[in-house]
Amino acid sequence: MQKSMVQQVMVQQVGTVTAEDGAGHAKAKSSLMRSPQFSSFVILVVLLVVFAVADGNFLSPLNISNMMAFLPELGIIALGMTLLLTAGEFDLSVGAVFALAPVVVMLLVQNAGVDIGVALLAGLLLCIAIGAINGVIVTKIGISSFLVTLSMLLIVRGAALYITQGFPLKSWDQPGFFVTLLAGSFNIGAFRFYTSLWWFIGLSLLAVYVLRYAKLGNWISAIGSNRNAAVARGVPADAVKIWLFIATSVLAGLAGMISAFRISAASPVAGTGYELEVIAMVVVGGTALTGGRGTILGTIVGALMLRAIRNGIVLVGVPGLAYNIFVGVIILAMLILHALLQKNAARS
């Protein structure tokens, strides 16, 4: 009873934001039913119910707190990736940046005695530089983002390993303003949340606004949909893409900082494989890998879904080594569902 009400409220919330530019309500409703983020949302609810029934601990405060601690870290990267994919590019170097940024920041503070604020600024500049290099090579030299960011993955990961000699840094023992800002925690009843959740919520709202309501979002979708058409209308496609690469890199670095501060340690192998997990979240949510169609709400649903799956299948007792089989199968099923819905929509 209570659950169904929660579901209704959530459906309505998704609905109001999904309604194409606030168009008529009836029309919005029917297109909502067919929209990819809606089908993802339904599947998320089903998964949550299945896990909740299968294991009583799934919805326990401790477990929910756990999921909410992890969610923002990949979710924040996924927001940037969604915008980038909508513009027709993607970034495989995010997992490596996730590791390198905190490694550099913490090394500067721990070994070089640099002030934490200055070190964070250096980390930020590093992320901007990585994103800018990705973007400039992709747009100005015209090499596919797959190849460019794959190379960047190796360079960045290699750098993280080299400067740490492959070892995790010694644990972080300096609380302070920035640590609280990025990884502070607070309790609501029996739940324990981290400030990173606020970051995720704030950045999500910003991303929804940019993609759906701002001039920039119109440009991003147009570039991914038909780059030549956008350029012919005077849209600065290359500049937009370069800035999106930068934003994605910075968000990956931010997520890395949040994670490192939360666990009080930076490791050169942190975030290994995150690039694919993030891309999976984004496409499971309904954003087209080919560009032009992006949905931030879908990405949030996708991020929740992958988090819930990873968490749930452990609780349900799937052997650890078999996780990825399930994750892969569920992702594939989602993509097939999206494709079928797309076909149906085109026919009607």
Residues that bind other proteins (CB under 8 A): 20-23, 209-210, 213-216, 218-219, 221-222, 224-226, 228-236, 288, 292-293
> Could you tell me the smallest distance in angstroms from the CB atom of residue 294 to other proteins?
9
Instruction: Please give the C-alpha separations between residue 345 and each of 28, 244, 283, 295, 298, in angstroms, as whole numbers.
Output: 14, 30, 18, 17, 18
Nearest to other proteins of 165, 228 (CB atom):
228
- How many residues make up the chain in this entry? 348
> Could you tell me the smallest distance in angstroms from the CB atom of residue 1 to other proteins?
37
**Distance, CA of 211 to CA of 213 (rounded, Å):** 6
Nearest CA to 83 among 276, 231, 214?
Answer: 214
> Could you tell me the smallest distance in angstroms from the CB atom of residue 252 to other proteins?
21
**Distance, CA of 348 to CA of 267 (rounded, Å):** 51
Nearest to other proteins of 7, 218 (CB atom):
218
> Could you tell me the smallest distance in angstroms from the CB atom of residue 78 to other proteins?
20
Specify the DSSP class assigned to residue 294: -
**Distance, CA of 245 to CA of 248 (rounded, Å):** 5
In the numeric block, the tokens 């990956």 are attached to 252
Nearest CA to 326 among 318, 338, 316, 337?
Answer: 318
Contact of 268 with 164, CB cutoff 8 Å: yes
> Could you tell me the smallest distance in angstroms from the CB atom of residue 205 to other proteins?
13
**Distance, CA of 8 to CA of 41 (rounded, Å):** 12
Sign of the Cα pseudo-torsion (243, 245, 248, 251, in order): negative
Specify the DSSP element, H or E, that contains 187. strand 185-188
> Could you tell me the smallest distance in angstroms from the CB atom of residue 36 to other proteins?
13
Nearest to other proteins of 166, 202 (CB atom):
202
> Could you tell me the smallest distance in angstroms from the CB atom of residue 121 to other proteins?
23
> Could you tell me the smallest distance in angstroms from the CB atom of residue 291 to other proteins?
8
Contact of 295 with 284, CB cutoff 8 Å: no
**Distance, CA of 14 to CA of 165 (rounded, Å):** 47
Specify the DSSP class assigned to residue 186: E
